Each structure stands twice: as C-alpha cells, then as structure tokens.
Structure 1
Amino acid sequence: MFEKLNPANWQVPTEAALEAGVVLVLALAIAYLLYRVIFAILGRLVAVDRNGSSAVIIDKLRKPVKWAMLAMSVTLAAEGNAWLGSFWEPVARFVRPAILGWIAYTVVKAMAAALEMRLEASDDPVATRSRRTRIAILSRTATVAIVVITVGLMLLGVPGVRDIGTTLLASAGLAALAIGAAAQPALKSLIAGLQMAITEPVRIGDLVVVDGHTGRVEEIKMSFVTVRTWDERLVVVPTSEFLDKSFENWSRRDESLTGPVFLHLDPIADVAAIRAEFLRFVEGHELWDKRTAGALLTEAYPESKEMRLAMSANTIGDLFALRCDVREYMIEWLNLTQPEALIRHRLEVPGGHAKANEPGEP
C-alpha cells in the first residue's frame, strides 16, 4: 500500500504534459489577444452612440465573453491533444453550460439596462411607465428561465443525476403530479407576472389604491408588487391581488384628474357669491389645467348644506396642491366676507324660560 504512494512509482508522461501545457498556453494567449482586438473594435464602433446604451451592453458582456473565448480555446486545444482532453472534458461538462448561461443572463440584463436608458429620453410619461413595466417583468422571467435551464444542463453532467432522471421518466405520471403540486405557487406567480406584462393593469410609477393604501408602484416582481405610500411606507402586495380583486389606478391613461373640495355651510350662505369667487380664484391659479371648474350644491340638510367645488389639474401632485390652495383660500374668504355662512351650533331661547325669568331668593 505504501509502495503505491511512493512518488518514485508515479509515472508521469512528461513529454505529453509539456506538449499539452504549451498547446494550452498558446491557445489561451491567442484567445485573449483575439478578445482584446474584438472589443477594441466594438469600443470604437459604439463610441458614436449618443445615449450610451450600446456601450452599456458591451461593458456588461466583456467578462462573460472573455471567459467563454478562453474556454472555447481550451476545448479546441483539447481536441488536438488527447492528454489535455482527458483532463478538460470532465470539467467542460460543467463549464460550458455555466458560461453559456452566464452570457445569456448578462445579455438579458444588458438589454434591459440599455432599454431603460433609452426610456429616460422619452417625453411621454405614460408610455415610459408602460415600457419600463414590460422590461422589468419580461427580463426577470427570462433570467429565471435561464438560471433554471443552466442549472439543469450542469446537473445533467453528473452521471448520478442523469440516472435519477431516467428513473423518473419511467414513472413520468407520478413525477408530473408531484412536480405540478409542488410548483403550483411558483407557476401561478410566473403566469401572473406574464399576464401583468401583457395586459398592464398596473405599471411602474402608477398611482394606485389597493387594500386601502394609496401610493406609487415602485417595483413589480413575479410574485409581489411594492407600493410606496406618501409617508414613505413600503406596502408589499401579492401580484394576484391586482388580477383577482379590484383596485384603483389613478394614472392608467395619464395623470390628469378632477378632484373635489367640499364646503359645509350654513343654510343662509350665499351660494352664488361663493361660486363666483371660487371660479375667479381657480381661473387665475397656475396649477389649473382649464378642463374642469364648477361649484354645485350637492346636499341640503335642515341645519347645513354641502357645496362641492370641482377642479382639474395635469398631474396628481398638482391636483392635490390645487385642492389645498382652494380649500385654504375659500375658508379665509368666507371668514372675511360671509362669516355667517360658516356652520355654528346655536341654541335660541326666545324670551327665555319662564322659571329662568323668576326673581331669585335673596
């Protein structure tokens, strides 16, 4: 036993190893030189791109393409050298699918980043949100598929795993049922994400009201959507909520909205004067988009009446600011010009109560 471990008994084909080493070094050197030349030419070509999206793709592809070219050079060298091939072939079963998957993953990420950069130059915010949502969902779907396929190809290089796969194929019915039951949540999320990308009920940047929360859609994942509220809370909503239940999307087509301000007034309030002053103030306000401006008496109660002041603005933020300005101005104007129009709780006792008018005891 100890004689077998003696280094003197080892038989190393020195000439074959030396030849393999020379071939390997030459192949790697040629591949690296070719890599530098190719990317130098590509760098010159993409230098004319004004928005820089092509340069982003080239930069992200540098590292995976370099390793792919080095691996390809080793494979070509191993085909011409049997001794090198005996060592490289078992390793290549894992390296080749891993590098191919790495390249595909990088291409998807680079294309998504390049498309995002081009969207920044767009003047249409609605179209920008729509395209950004599709890019995010479809790129995540592609990356998940690439990772699954890459891992599967790498595992197929293991003889034991290949044997297990053959055994499972023999009982394909039971295996399909088991896999389908286990993967049902993941498949549901995947299908929901694809449906979100195609139908676009909600997009990144939309202002939505879901489960009582109002905020901007910040991210759309395969299994959940994040909504950032006005007070900077982050609400995580399952993707299925946007497909199975109703919700409000305030910026589906554009952000032009009409909003109300309600005034609760005393029955003696002069509605015509209030309407005229409201229209005068809104027409001179810089945030009004000149679409909607109206004042209606919507309710009348025995002790009060309700007046709705409707106005519109180009964006949701402008509408909120406009409503606040109108509310503040109208309250101040009523205090100055019609103080009696503000609701007060009164208790009128004409002549007083009989007992209250009786002279008290000394």
Structure 2
Amino acid sequence: MTIGETSVAGAREYIESALAVAVPITVALLVTVGARILVRRRQARSPSPVWFSLQRRCRRPFRIVVVTTAIVIALPAVGLPATLADIIRHALVLALIAAVTWLLIQLTGVVEDVASSRLDLAVSDNRQSRRITTQILVLRRVAIAVLVFIGIAAGAMTIPWARALGASFLVSAGVLGVVAGLAAQTTLTNLFAGIQIAVADPIRIDDVVVVHDEWGRIEEITLTYVVVRTWDNRRLILPISWFTTNVFQNWTRDEARVLGSIFLHVDFRASVEDLRAEMYRLVQGSPLWDGRDWVLQVVDTTPTTMVVRGLVSSADAPSNWDLRCDVREKLLLFLQQHHPDALPRVRADVSQRNAFNTMAHLTHRSTADQRTRET
C-alpha cells in the first residue's frame, strides 16, 4: 500500500469515526428540539395541563436521557484506550440510569398535575376531590420511593463487586430479610400505613379532624408523617401509622357539611323561648348557615345555671366555626340588652344569713354581760 493510499485510508477512517460520533449526537439534539417544538405547538393549539406539565417537568431529564444515550452509542467510535473507555462508559451508564429515574419521577408529577387540574377543591362539597387528591399524592410518593430503590439497585448492579455482593445477599436472603425487617420496622410500618390510608380513605387532604383534643385540618400527607394545621395555625406532626392505630375524629369523613354546637350558661329565670326565637332570627339572616339544621335546647343544669345548647349547620368547617362564634356573641348581646336578669348569678338565702347574724350578736352580747358581772 502506498503512502497516498495509507493517507486516504486514514482520512476515511477518521471521517467514519467523526461521523459515528457526530450522527448520534446530532440526532439526539434534533430529537430534543423536535420534541420541544411539538409540545409547544400542541399546547398552543389545545391548551392542556398535560403539555404544560410535560414541558415544565420533563424537558431537562428527557434532554439528558437522549444526549447521554447518544454519547454512549458514539463512545466506541472515539478510539479511546480500553481502560479509559470502560471507565467513561460506566460513568455514562450510571448517569443514564439516574436520568431515566429522574424522568420517570417527573412523569409521576405530570400525572399528579393532570389529575389535580381536573379536581375542584374550592366547592363546598369536595369530599370526592379530596379523596382522589390524597390517593394520588400518597401513591405518587410510594412510586417515587420504588423508582429510587430500583434506580439505586440498577446502578449498583453495574458494578462487578456489587453484583457479587448482591448474589451473596440472595443466598442468605432469609436471615438478611429478618434483620432488614427488624431494622426498618418503623419505616415499613409507615409505608404500609400510607398505602392503607390511600386505599381505605380514613383521612384526606383538607379533612377536618380532632386529634389529641386539637381541632385542625389535614394539611399534608407523606409516607412517614401527617401534618395537621390547627385552628390557630400551629402544626401537629404525627406519624402516619398513628392514624391507623388510634381513635380520632374526622368531621368531614362523609361530607364537607359540618354541624356545630353552641353552649350558654344562663339563669333559671331565662326565657328559653325568647332565646330560641332570637337564635332562629340570627341563623336566618346569616349567609354562613346552609339552611338545613338548627335547634336550641336545655341539655343540662348546674347548681346555679341551666345549660342551653344550640346546633347550627354550615357547608364546611370554617363557615361553621365563624357561624357559631357569631351566633354566640349575638345571643350574649341579646341577653345583656333585653334580659339582663337571665345572666348567671350567685344566690344566697338572706333569711338564713340574718338569723345567723342575730345569733352571733346575741352570743357576743351574752359573753360581754358575763365578763361585766365577773369584774
């Protein structure tokens, strides 16, 4: 072979190597640009949360997956030394596994965005929407945990010594399963509790609950804990397994509508009929009342007062709280202005008090006379 032929062959080999590297990378870039243009056009033609969420969440991980795949394909044509090529290939494979895991996690976010966009939590009776929202939230977090575990396992299996270690683990899977189960008992308990809550539906996002004598709303549900926002904006952080093993009150389990109570202590001479008529007038004029239930009854007595309870219903818990406070304040104002004698008071038997004072006076006088005689 002549020098010219050798040069031509070398140039041809160089061009083939360059093309082998450039073509996959160029195709990858064209795919990413084409996907972005396609998503934008579809979003412009028919605005949908699917395309917006895909563009917002999946743009970067999809680009990394495509470009990394192209580099892995083009790597053998670069002509690197075998040892260096193996190291770079392994690093790229790990990056590809991480990128694919990231992309799948973002796709679960797309599903959550699309489902949330079709649910209206602003309506008064939003029980069904809150149930679906809670299930999607919990199941997405379970899926994220599973995807991360699979991604880590897939990355570890690319390492030879990790594969050997995994094989030895499989041999002693029984013992290791018991040890791992004991070590991760709390984590596994919370994980299964989260799945149970998603399926059995005992609590949902925005449910009104009473836990540890604290009234609040379910603000957040994770795989390990539940956040309850109390009426004064404090946060109760409870393990998610607590809600599967303890008794608590859920005021909005079946519907968002809430029936609340108002207690008043009044004097025995108070006119219950006047109070009942005034309460009916108040709830009739309040936009917070849903027009369904109200009642006022004497439910108990104490040595000095009788206990009057009023019940009022509202479309949701915040409205019911405000309605109860409003009715309670105006009923007290009504008693102060029109029936001040109906307010609680302490009574004493004046006749017995006078008899006691007279007896004490006579005893004191008798003692004084006796001392006078003795002197």
Q: 1:223 aligned to 2:218?
A: no
User: Are 2:120 and 2:126, in contact at CA under 8 Å, matched by a contact in 1?
Assistant: no
CA positional deviation for 1:193: 0.7
Which residue is 1:254 aligned to? 255
SS at match of 2:307: strand
CA positional deviation for 1:239: 0.6
Counterpart selection for 1:83 from 79, 83, 86: 79
Which residue is 1:74 aligned to? 71
CA positional deviation for 1:164: 1.1
User: Are 1:137 and 1:197, in contact at CA under 8 Å, matched by a contact in 2?
Assistant: yes
Which residue is 1:8 aligned to? none
Q: 1:30 aligned to 2:27?
A: yes
Which runs of 4 or more aligned residues in structure 1 lie more than 4 Å from their structure 2 counterparts after TM superposition? 13-19, 120-124, 355-361
Letter in 2 for 1:195: Q
CA positional deviation for 1:122: 7.2
SS at match of 1:37: helix
Counterparts of 1:120 and 1:258, CA distance in 2: 23
Which residue is 1:326 aligned to? 327
Q: 1:105 aligned to 2:91?
A: no
User: Are 1:61 and 1:103, in contact at CA under 8 Å, matched by a contact in 2?
Assistant: yes
SS at match of 1:306: strand
Going from structure 1 to structure 2, the CA distance change for 1:102 and 1:318 (only over 3 Å counts) comes to closer
Going from structure 1 to structure 2, the CA distance change for 1:191 and 1:302 (only over 3 Å counts) comes to closer
Which residue is 2:371 aligned to? none
Moved more, 320-329 or 347-356: 347-356
Counterparts of 2:147 and 2:308, CA distance in 1: 59
CA positional deviation for 1:332: 1.8
What is the correspondence of 1:213-292 to structure 2 with a 5 Å cutoff? 213-292=214-293
User: Are 1:255 and 1:315, in contact at CA under 8 Å, matched by a contact in 2?
Assistant: yes
Q: 1:48 aligned to 2:45?
A: yes
What is the correspondence of 1:101-250 to structure 2 with a 5 Å cutoff? 101-120=101-120, 123=123, 125-250=126-251
Counterparts of 1:334 and 1:125, CA distance in 2: 38
CA positional deviation for 1:289: 1.6
Counterparts of 2:339 and 2:278, CA distance in 1: 12
Q: CA RMSD in A?
A: 2.8
Counterparts of 1:122 and 1:234, CA distance in 2: 22
User: Are 2:121 and 2:129, in contact at CA under 8 Å, matched by a contact in 1?
Assistant: no
Which residue is 2:59 aligned to? 62
Going from structure 1 to structure 2, the CA distance change for 1:17 and 1:180 (only over 3 Å counts) comes to farther
Counterpart selection for 1:354 from 355, 358, 371: 358
How many residues end up aligned between the 2 structures?
348
Counterparts of 1:51 and 1:120, CA distance in 2: 16
User: Are 1:228 and 1:234, in contact at CA under 8 Å, matched by a contact in 2?
Assistant: yes
Query: Which string of whole-angstrom CA distances, capped at 9 and with x for unpartnered residues, describes residues 139-184 of structure 1?
Result: 1111111111001111111111111112222323222222222232
CA positional deviation for 1:22: 4.6
Counterparts of 1:154 and 1:218, CA distance in 2: 36
Indicate the structure with greater helix content: 2
Moved more, 30-39 or 230-239: 30-39
Counterparts of 2:67 and 2:320, CA distance in 1: 59
Going from structure 1 to structure 2, the CA distance change for 1:301 and 1:43 (only over 3 Å counts) comes to closer
User: Are 1:28 and 1:73, in contact at CA under 8 Å, matched by a contact in 2?
Assistant: yes
Counterparts of 2:230 and 2:11, CA distance in 1: 70
SS at match of 1:287: coil
Structure of higher CA gyration radius: 2
Letter in 2 for 1:321: D
Letter in 1 for 2:117: M
Counterparts of 1:182 and 1:269, CA distance in 2: 65
Letter in 2 for 1:41: L
SS at match of 2:350: coil
Counterparts of 2:120 and 2:291, CA distance in 1: 29
CA positional deviation for 1:120: 4.6
Query: Which string of whole-angstrom CA distances, capped at 9 and with x for unpartnered residues, describes residues 268-318 of structure 1?
Result: 222222222222332232222221121212224453222222221212122
User: Are 1:295 and 1:307, in contact at CA under 8 Å, matched by a contact in 2?
Assistant: yes
CA positional deviation for 1:119: 2.6
SS at match of 1:47: helix
Moved more, 272-281 or 348-357: 348-357
Counterparts of 1:235 and 1:14, CA distance in 2: 72
CA positional deviation for 1:357: 7.3
Counterparts of 2:350 and 2:332, CA distance in 1: 29
CA positional deviation for 1:21: 4.5
**Is there any run of 5+ residues in structure 1 with no aligned partner, and where?**
1-12
Letter in 2 for 1:43: R
SS at match of 2:300: strand
User: Are 1:217 and 1:226, in contact at CA under 8 Å, matched by a contact in 2?
Assistant: yes
**Is there any run of 5+ residues in structure 2 with no aligned partner, and where?**
1-9, 369-375
User: Are 2:42 and 2:51, in contact at CA under 8 Å, matched by a contact in 1?
Assistant: no
User: Are 1:57 and 1:114, in contact at CA under 8 Å, matched by a contact in 2?
Assistant: no
> What is the TM-score when the length of structure 1 is the normalising length?
0.86
Letter in 2 for 1:338: H
